[in-house]
């Protein structure tokens, strides 16, 4: 952070001595530019070519672009069914881009959505706290509500019991083409670590959540999935594809060590204009 402090001191003293708020804005802009450049460099230098497609639209960082490239390769971009567990207020997640593409799907979360939407066969939201006791029933309810019998893309970001919930779904033959899961990047391969299941878990914004990439990898390998990418921007989300599609990803490294991305949460930058709910609401109404 030394360079940012130097820039801050120079700008504040010379040009904006009496305008600290304006100086802060310029410092922030400079910082965002530098971090953005760093992220682009990481994407280009990473061993996995899928990372070069990383781009943010509605995801937290670069997950949208990776998702789109994967779906293009498996010829599933134009239509499908999504399910996401843990969507916040509905303005920033991994499947909103699919809704924008015209997909049908359902979300499950325990927050009130900020968006305006109509429940229909195109979209359904279930407001509930997700546990091992109700995960199967929630999926059944979601699919029934949109009149579908299977999911093509599933995303999990619950900051806690994700491993156990996914394990239960896999055991019950819930097997979409693509799984996007949040992993605990603090633990690099080959370390295996899974938090203890806690029905009442609430993430305290520390390192006690989820499971390591190796633990998730073992789970998915046992169920005929293959890890093909970890997002290079933050090292937060891992992408697992059904092994039947693996021949379409021959350019992707095979070793988990080459796919793993360490935690880069501080490289979280602003992208484009401020997001408007009007833009999102248009997809749902």
Do 25 and 55 belong to one domain?
Answer: no
Q: What is the pLDDT of residues 165-194, one digit of tens each?
A: 999 999 999 999 999 999 999 999 999 999
Tell me what pLDDT residue 253 has.
96
**Percent of the chain whose predicted confidence (pLDDT) is above 90:** 71
Do 122 and 29 belong to one domain?
Answer: no
Q: Distance between CA atoms of 247 and 170, rounded to whole angstroms?
A: 22
Do 129 and 268 belong to one domain?
Answer: yes
Do 264 and 141 belong to one domain?
Answer: yes
Q: What is the pLDDT of residues 146-168, one digit of tens each?
A: 999 999 999 999 999 999 999 99
**Percent of the chain whose predicted confidence (pLDDT) is above 70:** 80
Question: Of 114, 103, 206, nearest to 150 (Cα)?
Answer: 103
pLDDT for 270 beyond 60: no
Helix 2-14 × helix 20-45 angle, to 10°: 150
Q: What DSSP letter does each residue of 5-25 carry, written as one string?
A: HHHHHHHHHHT-TT-HHHHHH
Q: What is the mean pLDDT of residues 38-60?
A: 81
Q: Are 54 and 94 in contact (CB under 8 A)?
A: no
Do 127 and 228 belong to one domain?
Answer: yes
pLDDT for 3 beyond 60: no
Query: No. of H helices and E strands in the chain?
Result: 9, 7
Tell me what pLDDT residue 192 has.
97
Do 11 and 131 belong to one domain?
Answer: no
Do 179 and 105 belong to one domain?
Answer: yes
Residue 62 pLDDT grade (very low, low, confident, very high; cuts 50, 70, 90): very high
Do 156 and 31 belong to one domain?
Answer: no
Using the CB atoms, write b or e for 33-46: b if 16+ within 10 Å. eebeeebeebbeeb
Using the CB atoms, write b or e for 131-166: b if 16+ within 10 Å. beeebeebbeebbebbebeebbbbbbbbbbbbbbbb
Q: What is the mean pLDDT of residues 203-222?
A: 95
Give how many domains the chain has, as a whole number: 2
Residue 25 pLDDT grade (very low, low, confident, very high; cuts 50, 70, 90): low
Helices (H), 179-252: 213-221
Q: Distance between CA atoms of 53 and 168, rounded to whole angstroms?
A: 31
Question: Of 106, 130, 263, nearest to 202 (Cα)?
Answer: 130
Q: Where in 129-199 does DSSP place strands (E)?
A: 153-156, 178-182
More confident of the two residues 8 and 256: 256
Do 23 and 136 belong to one domain?
Answer: no
Tell me what pLDDT residue 265 has.
75
Q: Distance between CA atoms of 115 and 247, rounded to whole angstroms?
A: 39
Do 97 and 189 belong to one domain?
Answer: yes
pLDDT for 30 beyond 50: yes
Do 64 and 143 belong to one domain?
Answer: yes
Q: Distance between CA atoms of 48 and 230, rounded to whole angstroms?
A: 9
Residue keyed to tokens 């293009």: 72
Tell me what pLDDT residue 9 has.
56
Tell me what pLDDT residue 1 has.
47
| CATH code for the domain of 125 | 3.40.50.150
- Give residues with Cβ within 8 angstroms of 138, minimum separation 6: 108, 126, 128, 130
Its domain, for residue 148, covers 48-284
Tell me what pLDDT residue 214 has.
98
The average confidence (pLDDT) of the chain is 88
């Amino acid at each position: 952070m030394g360079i940012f402090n130097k820039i801050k001191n120079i700008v504040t003293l010379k040009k904006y001595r009496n305008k600290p708020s304006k100086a802060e804005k310029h410092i922030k802009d400079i910082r965002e530019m530098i971090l953005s450049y760093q992220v682009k460099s990481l994407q280009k230098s990473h061993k996995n070519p899928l990372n070069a497609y990383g781009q943010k639209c509605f995801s937290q960082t670069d997950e949208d672009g990776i998702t789109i490239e994967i779906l293009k390769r498996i010829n599933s971009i134009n239509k499908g069914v999504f399910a996401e567990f843990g969507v916040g207020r509905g303005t920033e997640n991994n499947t909103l881009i699919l809704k924008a593409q015209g997909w049908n799907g359902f979300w499950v979360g325990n927050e009130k959505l900020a968006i305006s939407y109509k429940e229909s066969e195109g979209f359904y939201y279930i407001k509930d706290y997700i546990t091992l006791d109700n995960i199967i029933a929630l999926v059944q309810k979601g699919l029934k509500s949109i009149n579908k019998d299977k999911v093509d893309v599933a995303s999990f970001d619950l900051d806690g019991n994700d491993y156990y919930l996914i394990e239960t779904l896999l055991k019950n033959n819930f097997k979409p083409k693509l799984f996007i899961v949040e992993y605990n990047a603090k633990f690099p391969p080959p370390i295996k670590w899974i938090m203890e299941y806690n029905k009442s878990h609430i993430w305290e914004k520390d390192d006690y959540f989820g499971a390591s990439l190796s633990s998730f990898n073992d789970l998915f390998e046992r169920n005929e999935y293959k890890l093909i990418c970890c997002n290079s921007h933050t090292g937060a989300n891992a992408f697992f594809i059904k092994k039947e599609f693996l021949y379409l990803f021959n350019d992707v490294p095979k070793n988990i060590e080459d796919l793993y991305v360490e935690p880069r949460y501080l490289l979280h930058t602003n992208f484009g204009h401020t997001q408007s709910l009007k833009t999102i609401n248009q997809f749902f109404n």
